[in-house]
Structure 1
Amino acid sequence: MHCQPQYKGQVYIWLKNKQTCLLCDELTDTSHPLCTPCESELPWLGDHCQMCALPLPMAGLTCGQCQKKPPAFEQVVTPFTYGFPIDSLITRFKHNAKWPFGRLLAELLSQSLQHRFDEDLIRPDALVPVPLANKRLRERGYNQAAMIAHWLSDSLNIPCDERLLLRIQDTTAQQDLDAKARKHNLQRAFALAPDALIKGRHLALVDDVLTTGATAENLAHLLMKAGAQRVDVYCLARTPKPGELT
Structure 2
Amino acid sequence: MFRFIHRLLSDFVNLIFPKLCLGCDRLIGVNERVLCSQCRLSLPETGQHRLATTSYVANQFAGKVPIQFATSYLYFKKGGVVQKLIHQIKYKGQKEAAKEIASWYGYQLKAESEMAKQIDVLIGVPLHKSRLSQRGYNQADWIAEGLAESLGVPAQADILIRERFNASQTRKNRLERWENVKTVFAVQNPATVKGKNVAVVDDVLTTGATIEACAIELLKAGCKSVGVITIAATHR
TM range (shorter): 0.7 to 0.9
Q: 72, 85, 90: which one pairs with 1:89?
A: 85
How far off its partner does 1:100 sit?
A: 4.3
Instruction: Mark the CA change 1:126 to 1:43 in structure 2 (over 3 Å): closer, same or farther.
Output: same
> Counterpart in 2 of 1:153?
148
CA distance in 1, matches of 2:61, 2:202: 20
Deviating more after overlay: 84-93 vs 188-197 = 188-197
The letter for the 2-side match of 1:54 is Y
Partner SS, residue 56 of structure 2: coil
Q: CA deviation at 1:156?
A: 2.5
CA distance in 2, matches of 1:30, 1:77: 28
Distance 1:52 1:218 in 2: 21
Q: Residues 79 and 112 of structure 1 are in contact (CA less than 8 Å); yes or no, is this contact kept in structure 2? A: no
Residues 57-76 of structure 1 mapped to structure 2, 5 A cutoff: 63=59, 66-67=61-62, 69-76=63-70
1:229 aligns with 2:224: yes
The answer on whether the counterparts of 2:125 and 2:200 sit within 8 Å (CA) in structure 1 is: yes
Q: Is the 8 A contact 1:129 1:146 kept in 2?
A: yes
AA partner of residue 105 (structure 2): L
Helix, strand or coil at the partner of 1:162? coil
User: Alignment RMSD, CA only?
Assistant: 2.8
Among residues 186, 189, 207, which one is paired with 1:191 in the alignment?
186
Q: In the alignment, does 2:53 pair up with 1:54?
A: no
Per-residue CA deviation, residues 152-211 of structure 1 (Å, 9 max, x unaligned), is 223332111111111111101112311110000012101110464222100111111111
Give CA-to-partner distance per residue, 1:92-114, whole Å, 9 cap, x none: 11012123432332232222222
Matches within 5 A, 1:1-246: 21-24=21-24, 25=26, 27-28=28-29, 32-46=33-47, 50-51=52-53, 53-54=55-56, 63=59, 66-67=61-62, 69-83=63-77, 84-116=80-112, 119-121=113-115, 122-194=117-189, 196-241=191-236
User: For 1:188, what is the secondary structure of its paired residue?
Assistant: coil
Once residues 99 and 66 of structure 2 are traced to their aligned partners in structure 1, the CA distance between those partners, rounded to angstroms, is 29
Q: Percent identity?
A: 31
Q: Could you tell me how far apart the structure 2 residues matched to 1:183 and 1:52 are?
A: 23
TM-score of the superposition, structure 1-length normalised?
0.76
| Structure 1 residue 47: Cα displacement | 6.2
Higher helix share: 2
Amino acid at match of 2:69: Q
State the distance in 2 between where 1:35 and 1:141 align.
Answer: 27
Change (3 A) 1:196 1:222: same
- Conserved in 1, the CA contact under 8 Å of 2:200 and 2:229? yes
Partner deviation per Cα, 1:47-66 (whole Å, 9 max, x = no partner): 698448437xxxxxx74x65
Give per-residue Cα distances to partners, 1:5-31, cap 9 Å, x unaligned. Answer: xxxxxxxx8xxxxx9754343555966
Structure 2 length normalisation: TM-score? 0.79
Question: For residues 159 and 214 of structure 2, what CA distance do their matches in structure 1 show?
Answer: 11
Unaligned 5+ residue runs, structure 1? 1-12, 14-18, 56-61, 242-246
